[in-house]
Every structure is written in structure tokens, then in C-alpha cells.
Amino acid sequence: MLNKSILTAAVTTALVATLATTSGCAVTRNQETVGAYVDDTALTTRVKAKFAADPTVSAMAISVETLKGTVQLSGFAKSQEEKSMAEKLARETSGVVAVRNDIAIRHGS
């Protein structure tokens, strides 16, 4: 299994690369300005980085999308604890206006 800090660095690097390549794109998803798009992309990156650093949350199994400061979480969690922690980490991220937690709990193996 990969060392947690190596995984965190890899996920963070990938997210920063995504931010760098998408920040020059046209405004999409009904956002008002390019600045709002960049802000939302930065929020998504910060939330995913928190997930990668947390031992409870699987950054690879939970998707994060941000629109006008509202973060939407989706995907699958192994437990209610993971789902709750993902929401908590997102809410505690500076700049997040609201969180919509649509994570489903995967029962069984």
C-alpha cells in the first residue's frame, strides 16, 4: 500500500495540474465570471487535498464539484463515519458557502 504522504502529494499535484490547465478555459456551468470559475476550482482542489490527507476519507471514491461556493459531494463511502467526515472537512474549508452531501454508503464488500 502506498505511503499516505506520497498519495497525498500525488493527489494534490494532480489536482493542481487540473486547476492550472482549466483556469484558462471559458466560463462554464452558468458561472458569472472567469474569476468565479477559478475560485470554485480552487475550492474543489482544497477539499480534495483535505480528503487525501485524512485517514478516514477516500479521496479516490468521493467526487467533489463546486458551483458558486457550494460543494457537492458524491460517490461511495465505506461507512457513515467516512460520509460524515467528508462533509465536515468540506464545511471547514475556507471559502465554502454550503455543502450538499450526496455520498452513498456502500454496504457489504
Interval 24-43: pLDDT, tens: 444 455 556 887 888 899 99
The strand order across the sheet containing 98-105 reads 62-67, 70-77, 98-105
pLDDT for the residue numbered 25: 46
Mean pLDDT across the chain: 83
Q: Does the pLDDT value for residue 17 go beyond 60?
A: no
pTM as predicted? 0.70
pLDDT for the residue numbered 48: 97
